[in-house]
Amino acid sequence: MSNITHDHHDHRPSGWKRWAYSTNHKDIGTMYLVLSMFAAIIGGAASMLMRAELHEPGIQFITDPQFYNVLVTAHGFIMVFFVVMPALIGGFGNWFIPLMIGTPDMAFPRMNNVSFWLVAAALILLVIAGFIDGGAGTGWTVYPPLSSADYHPGMAVDFGILALHLAGASSILGAINFITTIINMRAPGMTFHRMPLFIWAMLLTAFLLLLAIPVLAGALTMLLTDRNFGTAFFAPDGGGDPVLWQHLFWFFGHPEVYIMILPAFGIISEIVSTFSKKPIFGYLGMAYAMTSIGVVGFVVWAHHMYTMGFNVETRAYFTLATMVIAVPTGIKIFSWLATMWGGSIKFDTPMLYSMGFIFLFVVGGVTGVTLANAGVDMAFHDTYFVVAHFHYVLSISALFSMYAGFYYWFGKMSGKRYPEWLGRLQFWVTFVGVNLLFFPQHFAGMAGMPRRIIDYPDAYAGWNMISSWGAYISAVGGILFFVVLYKTLTSNVKAEANEWGVGATTLEWTVDSPAPFHTHEVTPNIIPEPAE
Amino acid sequence: MASDTVKTHPWHVPEPSPWPITGTIAGFIMAIGGIWYMHEGPIWLLAVGFALLIFTFYGWWRQVVIESNTVGMHSEQTKVGLRYGFLLFIVSELMFFFAFFWAFFHSSLPLLSKVAVAWPPASIELIPADGVPLLNTLILLTSSVTVTIAHHALIENQRATATKWTFITAILGVIFLFFQAEEYIEATFKLSDGIYPSTFYLATGFHGFHVFVGTCFLLVCGFRLTKGHFTPDHHIGFESAAWYWHFVDVVWIFLYINVYIWGASPLGHISPT
């Protein structure tokens, strides 16, 4: 890898236009990360309110049950579309795709900017949806008839639909941008089979976005016309079928969960390799495991709707197809472990978070295999077991990968080194908190506690109290994160260009920290490896 | 880009631009204006948002045209990226139509829907597939040929011929839209008459909207041809318009076969059980 010479007249626009009019992948990535943190405070506050309400049986302080439904809905939407996706894809993707493939910027920098601003506008619309006309209390799945004009007659659901339309437009434009950048703009010598796994992950994520989001857009449009123009797509009295919504939603929704977790796979692969000071074990297997997860992810959607009355053959197929995904997922888990095996491991905060990710993902994966069984799911459907499962497998897993990526790359982004002890403290508080929060929910769910309910029988009191205490501890972890952020930005400890040493071999470590405004103006040459 | 910057890459990194944020503001105003309008409010806010959107498109694409006419901005590698970008956009559009075809098949096949008992529903007076829809099929297929003639003429540097056939294609698009509108006016079922009109109007309606967009795209390309913007080896804009036109054509063929022919044929009927 070559050394990069930098232009020291770092030419950058100044003032508000630098951000509002930006065509710079680093500035746009930063804006995505800031938006994600801001949205996380809103989405996190919603979850704290829910956990506080569920702290004990009976109604604590939320007197209007619809408000609880609104909290469930807002929490889900905000965390998925405005925290995880902007941070992992918009934030880290924008920052590090050009740096890691050795190109000056994204393929379409202006389109990159509109992708960001559309997410910001969508967030405003979604927050309005929570407050106007009693709020949208549909859950993030927006199933009719609950979401139809009969049960949500006001403007709230329409605001939610339009928010998702704008966020979806942003995602589609972003996906086009990412795919074009990765396919077309890699530095000479970086063949597909030599791209960092983070780049593989982002490429596959972008393909999933490109194919899944337009289907959601179609479904949302049908819901909008059902609500406002008298169509009957999901209305049985006009010959329509609410199950159609479920099919369309989950045809998008299942790839969506991989959209959230594939970038995490990429980040964790980079970090595990760096801190084990070894190349990733089974590189090609890892890349194609992600590819097959992405492909198979499109043909398993109905496992979210086992209870709506499929025939037994259909359920058998979706059970089988879903379980097949455990195979490439296992390849990933074992390859991470094999990468660590015999490595000279450094347990800095990014590595702690990566190992935490692997643990959480395995727990969530195991319950996923359980739920993949149509027969078992008949009993577990819509219980807290499902809540525990998907929070392990994508919510806190995605969160851990975001934290991991932040600690790993923040030096590159800010030029400052975070205080290591504080990072480790933040990890342990968060790790204890999230497990205390979600593990008991397995037991509550197995005992039959339904999800999305403001109150519950006394029998579930114990697990719920533990879960709520876990939530408070996780919130302390979240506050500690902002302390770390503040301490790092105000500290004088400079981050070196390559702060992680010999294990960090990707191209972003060849440029200064903080990364200059323009990088890779001189295209790096990747020296070809001798033929195997 | 500062002139003293050492730069060896072939990529085009544009200067900061106001258009992304004006486009976002337009989308935001349209969303709020649209919701207001749907809930018995006036339409002017939606119209303002739409006007700002059109203004954004004009300003943004004007800038792109200027760049494409500036030597050295769109290198060969950058052009490859633009092609990828447009093809991927068409792929996402196809997936949008995928949703409406899904709705159509879900509603018309008893295997899938728990609700449908007869397709087409007994109360629906069908539009004969061998009438206006067949004529429109012929018009659209012909227009695919004419746009290809224009493309070949452009490659062979016959600008006048290319311009002529581009405008002929656009005119065919306008004729298609005219017949489509007439079909809607003469149809005996309206949008709110149940699931059949829902799938029919939204699927064909979104297709019609795409024909409209494609026609506008072709008209712009025809105008740019008269201005001499395109050369035999530098005409991404024209190529994109042609690809878009073929995409619109292919979607129509699927609509014609499935919605108009199969959906109305004895094979398409579900008898009440």
Check whether the bond before A145 is cis (ω within 30° of 0): yes
Question: A347 vs chain B: nearest CA distance in angstroms?
Answer: 38
Which pLDDT score is estimated for A434? Answer: 97
- The per-residue DSSP string of A362-388 comes to HHHHHHHHHHHSHHHHHHHTTBHHHHH
CA B255 to chain A, closest CA, distance in angstroms equals 16
Q: For residue A88, what are the CA distances in angstroms to A135, A259, A265, A405, A514? A: 28, 9, 11, 9, 20
Indicate the residue of B14, B23, B195 with minimum beta-carbon distance to A109. B14
- A450 in helix, strand or coil? strand
Q: Check residue B1 and give its pLDDT.
A: 40
What token pair was written down for A430?
């968060």
Instruction: Give whole-number Cα distances, B65 to A141, B69, B245, in Å.
Output: 42, 6, 20
* Mean pLDDT, rounded, of chain A: 94
Report how far residue A53's alpha carbon sits from residue A66's, in angstroms, rounded to the nearest whole number.
Answer: 13
Q: Is A210's CB within 8 Å of B91's CB?
A: yes
Residue A228 pLDDT: 96
| Structure confidence at residue B13 (pLDDT) | 87
Pairwise CA distance, residues A158 & A125, whole Å: 10
pLDDT confidence of residue A9: 45
Interface of B with A in 39-78 (CB under 8 A): 39, 60, 77
**Res A125 pLDDT > 60:** yes
Q: Is the pLDDT of residue A119 over 90?
A: yes
Give the model's confidence band at A331: pLDDT under 50 very low, under 70 low, under 90 confident, else very high. very high
State whether residue A256 is helix, strand or coil: helix
Residue with tokens 């590595």: A351
Residue A266: C-alpha distances to residues A131, A205, A413 (Å): 37, 10, 18
User: pLDDT of A406-424, one tens digit each?
Assistant: 999 999 999 999 999 999 9
User: How far is residue A271's CA from residue A268's CA, in Å, rounded to a whole number?
Assistant: 5
A256-282 pLDDT, tens digit each: 999 999 999 999 999 999 999 999 999
The 3-state DSSP class for residue B233 equals: coil
Residues of B in contact with A251 (CB under 8 A): 102
Helices and strands in chain B: count of H runs, count of E runs? 7, 0
Q: Which of A13, A185, A217 sits opposite B11 (nearest CB)?
A: A185
pLDDT mean over B24-40:
97
* Kind plus residue range of the DSSP H or E element containing B69: helix B44-69
Residues A206, A175 contacting (CB under 8 angstroms)? yes
| Mean pLDDT value across residues B212-233 | 96
Which residues in A lie closer than 8 A to residue B8 (C-beta atoms)? 521-523
| pLDDT value, residue B108 | 85
By CA distance, what is A157's nearest residue in B? B35
State the distance between the two ends of chain A, measured CA to CA, in whole angstroms. 19
Nearest CA to A318 out of A397, A355, A371 is that of: A371
Residues in chain B: 273
- Which residue of A109, A166, A180 is in closest CB contact with B31? A166
Choose among A23, A218, A247: nearest Cβ to B14.
Answer: A23
Residue B43: band (very low, low, confident or very high) from pLDDT cuts 50, 70, 90: very high
Which among A512, A307, A278 is positioned nearest to A411, based on CA atoms? A512
* The pair of three-digit structure tokens given for residue A369, joined into one six-digit string: 């295999």
- Please report, as a single letter, which amino acid is at residue B180: Q
CA distance to partner chain A, nearest, from residue B160 (Å): 32
Report the pLDDT value the prediction gives residue A51, as an integer from 0 to 100: 97
Q: For residue B177, give how far its alpha carbon lies from the nearest alpha carbon of chain A (Å).
A: 22
- Of B8, B38, B194, which has the smallest distance from its Cβ to A523's Cβ? B8
Give residue A12's pLDDT band: very low, low, confident or very high (50, 70, 90): confident
Q: Are A242 and B103 in contact (CB under 8 A)?
A: no
Tell me which H or E stretch contains A300.
none
Q: How confident is the model at residue A49 (pLDDT cuts 50, 70, 90)?
A: very high
Which of A9, A184, A241 lies nearest to residue B115, judging by beta carbons? A241
Interface test with B, best of A180, A182, A311 (most B CBs within 10 A): A180
Residue that has been written with the tokens 């209007």 in this structure: A64
Q: What's the angle, vertex CA A505, arms to CA A499 and CA A509, rounded to 5?
A: 45
* Per-residue pLDDT at B153: 97
The rounded distance, in Å, linking the Cα atoms of B27 and A123 is 13
CB contact under 8 Å between B24 and A155, yes or no, is no
How far apart, in whole angstroms, are the C-alpha atoms of residue A174 and residue A113? 9
Note whether B103 contacts A: Cβ–Cβ < 8 A. Answer: yes
Chain B residues touching A238 at Cβ < 8 A: 192-195, 198
Q: What is the pLDDT of residues A59-115, one digit of tens each?
A: 999 999 999 999 999 999 999 999 999 999 999 999 999 999 999 999 999 999 999
Cα dihedral: A428, A434, A437, A443 (round 10) = -110
How far off is chain B from A119, nearest CA to CA, in Å?
Answer: 9
How would residue B168 be classed by pLDDT, with cut points 50, 70 and 90?
very high
Q: Could you check whether the bond before residue B20 is cis, i.e. omega within 30 degrees of 0? A: no
Cα gap B46→A164, rounded to integer Å? 18
Quote the pLDDT of residue B264: 81
Q: Taking residues A130-158, what's their average pLDDT? A: 95
Q: Is the dihedral of CA A312, A313, A316, A321 positive or negative?
A: negative
- Contact present, B85 and B74 (Cβ < 8 Å): no
Q: According to the model, what pLDDT value does residue A522 have?
A: 86
pLDDT given at position A530: 57
Q: Which residue type is seen at B68?
A: S
Which amino acid, one-letter code, is at A456? Y
What percentage of chain A's residues is helix, strand, coil (to nearest 5)? 70, 0, 30
- Assigned token pair, A127: 């927050």
Which residue's entry shows tokens 């533990």?
Answer: A466
Whether the CB-CB separation of B129 and B123 falls below 8 Å is answered with no
CA distance A292 to A504: 27
8 Å CB contact of A244 and B92: no
Residue A288: count of CB within 10 angstroms of its CB: 15
Q: What CA–CA distance (Å, rounded) separates A507 from A298?
A: 33
Residue A109 to residue B13, Cβ atoms within 8 A: yes
Q: Does the beta-carbon distance from B11 to A103 stay under 8 Å?
A: yes
Cα of A384 to nearest chain B Cα, Å: 29
Q: Which residue has the higher pLDDT, B267 or B178?
A: B178
CA–chain centroid gap for A500, Å, is 25
What B182-191 contacts at long range (C-beta under 8 Å, 24+ apart), as own/partner pairs, is B182/B132, B183/B127, B183/B132, B183/B133, B183/B136, B187/B127, B188/B125, B189/B123, B189/B124, B189/B125, B191/A225, B191/A229, B191/A230, B191/A231
Provide, as residue numbers in chain A, all residues whose Cβ is less than 8 Å from the Cβ of B96. Answer: 214-215, 217-218
**Whose CA is closest to A463, among A30, A57, A8, A20?**
A57
- Give the residue-averaged pLDDT of A153-167: 97
Position B8 scores a pLDDT of 80
Give yes or no for a contact between A522 and A4, defined as CB atoms under 8 angstroms apart: yes
Q: Confidence band (pLDDT; 50, 70, 90) for B140?
A: very high
Q: Which amino acid is it at B120?
A: P
Q: Are A357 and A397 within 8 A, CB to CB?
A: yes
Q: What angle do CA A35, A36, A41 make, to 5 degrees?
A: 100
Please give the C-alpha separations between residue A261 and each of A186, B48, B53, in angstroms, as whole numbers. Answer: 24, 39, 34
Residue pair A491/A416 in contact by the 8 Å Cβ criterion: yes
The C-alpha atoms of residue A313 and residue A296 are separated, in whole angstroms, by 18
Asked whether residue A446 carries a pLDDT value surpassing 70, the answer given is yes
Give helix A349-372 / helix A326-340 axis angle, nearest 10°: 150
pLDDT of residue B272: 47
How far B181 CA lies from chain A's nearest CA (Å)?
A: 19
Region class of A230: left (phi > 0), else alpha (psi between -120 and 50), else beta: left
CB B195 within 8 A of CB A232: yes
Which pLDDT score, from 0 to 100, does residue A10 have?
Answer: 53
Class of domain B74-268: mainly alpha
User: How far out from the chain centre does Cα A247 lie?
Assistant: 22
Residues of A annotated as catalytic are 75, 105, 140, 170-171, 254, 256, 258, 269, 303-304, 329, 332, 451
Q: How many CB atoms lie within 10 A of CB B182?
A: 11
Q: Does B85 touch chain A (CB under 8 A)?
A: yes
- CA B208, B214, B216, B218 torsion: positive or negative? negative
Give the residue among A57, A174, A190, A189 at the shortest CA–CA distance from A119: A174
Give per-residue pLDDT as tens, A477-530: 999 999 999 999 999 999 999 999 999 999 999 999 999 998 988 888 777 665
pLDDT value, residue B117: 66
Give SS3 for A497.
coil
Question: Does the distance separating the beta carbons of B31 and A125 come in below 8 Å?
Answer: yes
Q: With bands split at pLDDT 50, 70 and 90, how would you rate the model's confidence at A531?
A: low
Residue B44 C-alpha from the chain's centroid: 25
Could you state, in order of their start, the residue ranges of all structural domains in chain B? 1-73, 74-268
pLDDT, average across residues A233-260: 95
Between A501 and A9, the more confident residue is A501
Contacts of B6 in chain A (CB under 8 A): 5, 7, 521-522
At A111 the pLDDT is 96
Contact criterion met (CB below 8 Å) for A160 and A81: no
pLDDT in tens, B171-197: 999 999 999 999 999 999 999 999 999
For residue A56, CA distances in Å to A60, A123, A471 come to 8, 32, 14
Helical (H) or strand (E) element with A79: none
**Residue B18: pLDDT above 90?**
yes
CB-defined contacts A:B, below 8 A: 235
- Model ipTM value: 0.94
> Which CATH architecture does the domain made up of B1-73 adopt?
Orthogonal Bundle (1.10)
Confidence of residue B56 (pLDDT cuts 50, 70, 90): very high
What whole-number percentage of chain B has pLDDT above 70?
92
pLDDT at B109: 81
- The answer, yes or no, to whether the previous bond of A514 is cis (omega within 30 of 0) is yes
Best probe of the A interface among B198, B200, B240, by most A CBs < 10 A, is B198
B 6-45 residues with CB < 8 A to A: 6-9, 11, 13-21, 23-25, 27-28, 31-32, 34-35, 38-39
Examine the pLDDT at B110 and tell me if it is beyond 80. Answer: no
